[in-house]
Amino acid sequence: MNILELITAPDPLLNMVSKRVEIIDDQLQNFMKDMITTMYHERGIGLAAVQVGVLKRILVMDVDYENDDHFHDHDNYNSIHVKNTNPQYFVNPEIIEFSKIKTPYNEGCLSFPGARAEIIRPDSVVVKYLDFNAKEQVKKFTGISATCIQHEIDHLNGITFVDHISSLKRDFIIRKMKKIKNKK
């Protein structure tokens, strides 16, 4: 499993809409494994394919894992040691139901390193998607899982979490990201 390079703001790719996946084959499954490895490496809980430069409707998520700096025979993802893993793979995900109850969450994003903002989203969602083995699934997500999957599906639609905040805060974060990129 490989660690993929992250696309960071203000890269215009992050504002592009991802394309549907037609076939889930070994190559795509290996790519999804690389996405999970990258997510663990970056210490995130979700990652959309566009965030690693691929405009396909794919996301991965694991809100349960813990980093384990002292390896004790746990899952090993390219020398990244994690325990309590529950990786989830979503191909062509679509939200088919939103709860009326909304809750705030202080979100961050791997494509916006160091930036956080309080975003209000539905507390639960029902998502239809294809899993790792191309089987159709319909599943309800609540709490942090619901927040995470909405955040990642937004990425697939060319929307980032800063698109949900005031233009003043958004401009501040974008300026900060430009400064970080210019230092590299």
Predicted confidence at residue 166, as pLDDT, reads 95
On the question of pLDDT at 54 being above 50, the answer is: yes
Higher pLDDT, 182 or 140: 140
Q: Has residue 153 got a pLDDT over 60?
A: yes
Q: What percent of the chain has pLDDT over 90?
A: 84
CA–CA separation, 92 vs 81, rounded Å? 29
Query: pLDDT band at residue 73, thresholds of 50, 70 and 90?
Result: very low
Domains of the chain: 12-183 (3.90.45.10)
Question: What is the reported pLDDT for 1?
Answer: 83
Q: Supply the pLDDT for residue 146.
A: 98
Annotated catalytic residue within 97, 107, 136, 152: 152
Q: By CB neighbour count within 10 A (0-12 exposed, 13-18 middle, 19+ buried), where does 127 fall?
A: buried
Question: Residue 168 and residue 179: Cα distance in Å, rounded?
Answer: 17
Q: pLDDT > 70: what percent of the chain?
A: 92
* Whether residue 76 has pLDDT greater than 70: no
Establish whether 152 is a catalytic residue.
Answer: yes
Record the pTM: 0.92
150, 122 Cβ separation under 8 angstroms: yes
Residue 75 has pLDDT above 60, yes or no: no
- Structure confidence at residue 65 as a pLDDT band (50, 70, 90): confident
Residue/partner pairs of 130-135 with CB below 8 Å, 24 or more apart: 130/21, 130/24, 130/90, 130/91, 130/92, 131/89, 131/90, 131/91, 132/24, 132/29, 132/32, 132/89, 133/24, 134/24, 134/91
Residue 148's pLDDT is what? 98
